[in-house]
A and B are shown apart, each in its own frame.
Chain A
């Protein structure tokens, strides 16, 4: 369906596409035959050709026959659909575990060795089990080429699994509406050969912060990588969160534990805003939208972000 040459993108594709072909094939047949009959009757029995209708009240035998026929057919189609789905229910024992974390409007993937990425990198021919974690609202992890989709529900432990049979790059979308930038919430899936995957996996050195560019530019990079720009602008416009323009070094009105107060947006404040955003809520904005980046953004990176905010004041 998605594209014919990738029937082995995942081990489910063949089974699911077979169900598609059976149901759609049957549907086409049904539609064409009935439409043909309808048009033919209209043509044949139009008033000018057939001025007197023949009254037929019904036909019990025919009625029973087509109800029975429809019954057998839909039950058959149900079983076809069930058979195609069953493999998705049972996660194989040897599946490799990755935690998929969704927040407004970004996916992250956490590996067993602590590696964290924003695209899903997996080895070919290896069953992968994703533990699905949603931090804020419901998202849905959808990889069309693999024919898999599962909602990620905050507060509920869920998982999904798949096995890719072909190296390559695939799209991953958020399929459950999750607010402003829902349609931008996507990621890439990279399926690597076993050796390439191993090499990638053991390389746990943090992404080097480039030293050849000014600190403020590096700060911008950090924010792009972490999806901050989905909620914050640098040009004075307000999105879901306040703009970065003119924050640093100025007084901000915040609500702390129900009390409104003025605070100075210094380095401490910025750091706290990133690691514990629920403690001081900027006036006019909602609590619970920005989540903590504890463990995601290092102290060093926060320093770069602050450099960027300072840079905006110039």
Chain B
């Protein structure tokens, strides 16, 4: 297979289409093209979200007004949250790599419902447009934070309705993708691929899809109730109308906590693909990882109350939510143990995706361990709604999901584009990003413990030092990001063509097909007779 110029057996999917130009993309039902559509949309939104993040950090460089007014700042953190959560990390890995890789990983030609798949993308774009349009309509950008807490969200004069509707619409995209993946995984696995011969990334997509399917309707209803309340003054949540603002918080977090697992599970799946390949070793504890995936997906439904320890719940509720939160730490810990054991006695190929994967484990551990501080009642009361929480969830959703996304895109880059990224730049980008990331978020733990609340446009002088370090970290991190993205974009067009369909010597099915894959992925559907990471 290894020869300088790879002879293609079948034309690449990039070269086959009945339509021309952009229509070949936006009317295509090919899972690979849809995956790339998501990749480009998510990347574009991510750049906007990251710039907004940087603006906030610049504002916080000094107390008082630095570069913007309080009103702008409140709009910026709201938009940053909406973009990052609803447009990037929730669709995230499933939409991009799930679409592109899931069928190939299980030996299928496409997902179960290709047209529904394209519809999901359109719904996603429609929701995104609504959310972004809210910025420009009369009334001004919404300033409620991405959580839209009642009753503030009913009092604000800003334009929160379109943003809420946008989130509502995006939920449908999520539900449809989840449904599609569940059916695909149940019905379309290659002959011989029993459940326990399926790779781990599809397994996590499976767990994720169930959460999307079961939990997303709850936020749909909640957001709809919010819209109803704002337009018809019904009085679900607004105490002035006889409603209960705490009810809103329950409904919101019943979805939004499981949503954290929608974000992190596929990230864990991607890491479970990358590590065996670069250790040239089968994954340690395959079944344990599957069980922990399902355990997280299941227990994750019952811990939402830990967002509300200071909202006013009974002692019993506090007790139960706290203990469940601690329990959900166990399967995450088990995964970390298994990943580290996978490296043990491997033959480690030090390449960019591997750096991302191990740095993922490191930041994920910090995110998880600081989660214990938030799960424990005594300490949560002090750090709830402070910068500590901001640091914690950035370690999980940006450190966790973001690092895994970066690892995955470098890992599958040669497969998706048939070209290789520039390795030195990729490593330099990773290192700068990693250092910037830690410098940006570690001081926030300190700031939170010292008592600086979150969503603060201004702060007292005692918080200045920590904020300076954090803001400098943001600048460094953005520099790393620029290097990484430039390298990827450039290499997708001009990178060296791959010399092999399997540059990393991976064992899962995607490495048996051509790079980039042909339209139907496989010339012949493979018959599976061994486990996914068989290096014997």
- Using Cβ atoms and an 8 Å threshold, which residues of chain B touch A66? 333-334, 337
Judge whether B282 and A56 touch: CB under 8 Å: yes
Say what secondary structure dominates the interface of chain B.
Answer: helix
Give the distance in Å from the alpha carbon of A54 to the alpha carbon of B449 in the complex.
Answer: 45
Judge whether A175 and B376 touch: CB under 8 Å: no
- Using Cβ atoms and an 8 Å threshold, which residues of chain B touch A154? 151, 239-240, 245
Give the distance in Å from the alpha carbon of A151 to the alpha carbon of B249 in the complex.
Answer: 12
Give the distance in Å from the alpha carbon of A137 to the alpha carbon of B248 in the complex.
Answer: 13
Q: Which chain A residue shows the least CB distance to B362?
A: A35
**Distance from B69 Cβ to chain A, minimum over Cβ atoms (Å):** 9
Give the distance in Å from the alpha carbon of A2 to the alpha carbon of B143 in the complex.
Answer: 30
Given A53-B345, A154-B151, is A31 in contact with B240 using a C-beta cutoff of 8 Å? Answer: no
Within 8 A of B (CB), among A176-233: 176-184, 186
Within 8 A of A (CB), among B308-361: 310-312, 315, 318-319, 322-323, 326-327, 329-330, 333-334, 336-338, 340-341, 343-350, 358, 361
Give the distance in Å from the alpha carbon of A128 to the alpha carbon of B156 in the complex.
Answer: 34
- Using Cβ atoms and an 8 Å threshold, which residues of chain A touch B453? 142, 173-175, 183
- Using Cβ atoms and an 8 Å threshold, which residues of chain A touch B378? 15-16, 19, 80-85, 88
* B236 close to chain A: CB less than 8 A: no
Q: Chain A CB within 10 Å — which of B149, B152, B245, B379 has the most?
A: B379
Number of interface residues of B (CB under 8 A): 86
Give the distance in Å from the alpha carbon of A11 to the alpha carbon of B315 in the complex.
Answer: 20
Give the distance in Å from the alpha carbon of A68 to the alpha carbon of B330 in the complex.
Answer: 9
Judge whether B362 and A156 touch: CB under 8 Å: no
Give the distance in Å from the alpha carbon of A59 to the alpha carbon of B341 in the complex.
Answer: 10
Cβ 8 A contact of B376, one of A78, A89, A142: A78
* A310 close to chain B: CB less than 8 A: no
Q: Which chain B residue shows the least CB distance to A46?
A: B348
Judge whether A84 and B376 touch: CB under 8 Å: yes
Given A154-B151, A184-B458, is A23 in contact with B381 using a C-beta cutoff of 8 Å? Answer: no
Comparing A36-44, A268-276, A296-304, the segment that makes contact with chain B is: A36-44
Judge whether B246 and A45 touch: CB under 8 Å: no
Cβ 8 A contact of A34, one of B365, B375, B459, B460: B365
Provide the A135-154 mask, 1 if CB < 8 A to any CB of B, else 0.
Answer: 01110101011011111011
Judge whether B457 and A183 touch: CB under 8 Å: yes
Q: Which chain A residue shows the least CB distance to B350?
A: A46
Comparing B170-178, B382-390, B422-430, B484-492, the segment that makes contact with chain A is: B382-390
Cβ 8 A contact of B286, one of A57, A71, A140: A57
Kindly state the interface size class of chain A when it binds its partner. Answer: 35 or more
- Using Cβ atoms and an 8 Å threshold, which residues of chain A touch B386? 175
Give the distance in Å from the alpha carbon of A46 to the alpha carbon of B280 in the complex.
Answer: 11
* A20 close to chain B: CB less than 8 A: yes
Give the distance in Å from the alpha carbon of A54 to the alpha carbon of B281 in the complex.
Answer: 7
Give the distance in Å from the alpha carbon of A183 to the alpha carbon of B69 in the complex.
Answer: 12
**Distance from B127 Cβ to chain A, minimum over Cβ atoms (Å):** 24
Judge whether A20 and B456 touch: CB under 8 Å: no
Judge whether B70 and A183 touch: CB under 8 Å: yes
Judge whether B385 and A176 touch: CB under 8 Å: yes
* B526 close to chain A: CB less than 8 A: no
Judge whether A56 and B341 touch: CB under 8 Å: yes
Judge whether A183 and B459 touch: CB under 8 Å: yes
**Distance from A283 Cβ to chain B, minimum over Cβ atoms (Å):** 13
A: residues with CB less than 8 A from B are 1-2, 15-16, 19-20, 23-24, 26-27, 30-31, 34-35, 37-38, 41-42, 45-47, 50-59, 62-63, 66-67, 70-71, 74-75, 77-78, 80-85, 88-89, 136-138, 140, 142, 144-145, 147-151, 153-156, 158, 171, 173-184, 186, 240, 285-286, 288-289
Other A-B contacts than A27-B369, A81-B380, 6 sampled, CB-CB below 8 A, are A20-B449, A41-B344, A63-B338, A85-B378, A155-B244, A177-B145
Closest 8 CB pairs of A and B: A81-B376, A144-B451, A155-B239, A84-B378, A85-B377, A27-B369, A183-B456, A53-B281
A-B contact pairs, 10 of them (CB 8 A): A27-B369, A30-B365, A41-B346, A67-B288, A78-B323, A81-B375, A82-B376, A136-B151, A140-B385, A182-B74
B: residues with CB less than 8 A from A are 70-71, 74, 143-145, 149, 151-152, 155-157, 239-240, 244-246, 279-282, 284-288, 310-312, 315, 318-319, 322-323, 326-327, 329-330, 333-334, 336-338, 340-341, 343-350, 358, 361-362, 365-366, 369-370, 372-373, 375-382, 384-386, 449-451, 453-460, 535-536
